Structure 1
Amino acid sequence: MGYLGGLVTPLLQRMARFPAPTFAAAHGACLGVGLGLLIATDVVYVAESAKIGSPFAALGATLDSGGHALFVDRLGAHKTLDLIYTGRLMSGTEAVASGLFSRVLPDDEVLQTTTDAAATAANGATAAFLASKQLVSRIRDERLALWESIEVENTAQAALCDTDDYREGFAAFQEKRKPEFHGR
């Protein structure tokens, strides 16, 4: 059995950079590459009974696919190493309460809720969503300070002012109706 990191990393990078909102429903065990797929996704809804963690110590292996970075960023070093050293798996409820993912849902609702949220986003202001996705990635990856973040937001907002969706959104707001976005 060989290590798949060389194949998995480009896939995770492509997913994280995908130029549209991405959603994932997590049900069951989310470990290794499965966890990496969740990390590379914008919005993650997890079932209450999902299991998230790093059981790899029992295999003589280590957490991969971005798991260390996610856990340290959101849980801190102590909780990260506790999960790694003990192999304990968090429930979906605990993972969301710890800030790992977006929302916890009953097991029988997670897939439909995720599908509905993705459909809502697909019919929304996609140019604005892409701008927000890029902003969040840049703020996270470059660790931008507040004032730097405000500047890049201002630049993005100025560019969006020239889009049809921006004009439609403001017209719909003023006319008290639902906007009809077309991704332009």
Structure 2
Amino acid sequence: MTEVTGAVRLDVDGALAHLVVSRPHKRNALDPAAAADLSGALGQLESAVARGRVRAAVVTGEGTAFCAGRDITGVDPTAEDPGRVLADVFNPLVQRLADLPVPTVAAVEGPALGVGLGLALACDLVVAAEDARFGSPFARLGAVLDSGAHLLLAERIGRPRTLELVYTGRLLTGTQAHQWGLVTTTTAPGRALAEADALARTLADGPTLAFTASKRLLARQRDESLGLPDVLAAEADAQRAAGSSADYVEGFAAFQAKRAPRFTGS
């Protein structure tokens, strides 16, 4: 199944979805119309996940760029409230992508800048070409790092390195981003989507209910600053819920029979 919403395409192949921003002539930068298209495609993806049809998702950009950020062509900085633009347009996209209750993998070729960086880091895992570029050149604009990067970037590379990128406007290559712990793995240029696809298909075949429980628990620990007693209690609750699933029973049976498990996400 392929659904096209303007500048964004949603491809569903079995249990795997591909969410593709398709403005290659603009390096997949998002203008208001493209942001609205991405919101619509996310709605379709959320619906497919809720129906149990999609169990993992790959997020990428068409051609040689992931997303070069906001398309500011023709924007008059004296005639808009930039905080309102973030709150109304871009922040919900990052939040909804981060909240998807299935494993997500970003496949990054070329630039992932500004809101593009936020979208990549909202994914659970990032596969990047060695010559990809990560960062936010806001130091040249007098703007503040945004799209959740004060959290999503800092939790991966730490506060000092985050501030270094803020202060200098330096962009990291995919290779450097991997060395800093920003991305999960790197590939030769042109191979990020294929590698992300293979990884996501493996995840889609796994015990996705258990994956989702861990994803939510880690988000809770981050957002609520849970101490060890709370984490232990939350893990027990999650394990209790997992214990009532078909995947849990199948996993035990397969382990005991020394065969590969056949998980269904139920």
Q: What is the TM-score with the length of structure 2 in the denominator?
A: 0.65
What does 1:76-95 correspond to in 2, within 5 Å? 76-95=158-177
Separation of aligned partners in 2, 1:74 and 1:42: 11
Indicate the residue corresponding to 2:102 in structure 1. 20
Q: Structure 1 vs Structure 2: percent identity of aligned residues?
A: 48
**How far has the Cα of 1:122 moved from its partner?**
1.4
Gap runs ≥5 in structure 2: 1-74
For the 8 Å contact 2:104–2:200, the answer to whether it is kept is yes
User: In 2, Cα distance between the equivalents of 1:132 and 1:80?
Assistant: 26
Which of 105, 113, 121 aligns to 1:31? It is: 113
Q: How does 1:66-81 map to 2 (within 5 A)?
A: 66-81=148-163
User: 1:116 and 1:156 mapped to 2: Cα distance?
Assistant: 28
1:33-182 superposed matches below 5 A:
33-182=115-264
Distance 1:29 1:169, change over 3 A: same
How far apart are the structure 2 equivalents of 1:112 and 1:51? Answer: 18
Unaligned runs of 5+ in 1: none
Contact kept, 8 Å, 1:70 with 1:100, in 2: the verdict is no
Give how far 1:75 is off: 3.2
Aligned-residue RMSD, C-alpha? 1.6
Structure 1 CA distance for aligned equivalents of residues 198 and 176 of structure 2: 24
The structure carrying a bigger helix percent of its residues is 1
Give the strand-richer structure, 1 or 2. 2
Distance 1:165 1:77 in 2: 39
Give the distance between the partners of 1:169 and 1:102, measured in 2 at CA: 26
Partner SS state of residue 44, structure 1: strand
Query: Per-residue CA shift, 1:105-147, capped at 9, x if unaligned?
Result: 2223321110011111112111111111111111221222233
2-side partners of 1:75 and 1:43: how far apart? Answer: 14
Q: CA deviation at 1:38?
A: 1.0
Q: Could you give the per-residue CA deviations for residues 142-176 of structure 1, whole angstroms, max 9, x where no partner exists?
A: 22223321221111011111111100011011111
CA contact (8 A) 2:118 2:152 kept: no
Report the 3-state secondary structure (helix = DSSP H, G, I; strand = E; otherwise coil) of the residue aligned with 1:52: strand
Q: Is the 8 A contact 1:83 1:89 kept in 2?
A: yes
Structure 1: distance between partners of 2:215 and 2:158? 24
Q: Aligned equivalents of 1:95 and 1:56: distance in 2? A: 18
Q: How many residues align?
A: 184
Q: Deviations over 1:13-47 (max 9, x none)?
A: 11111121111111111111110101211111111
Q: Give the SS at the match of 1:63.
A: coil
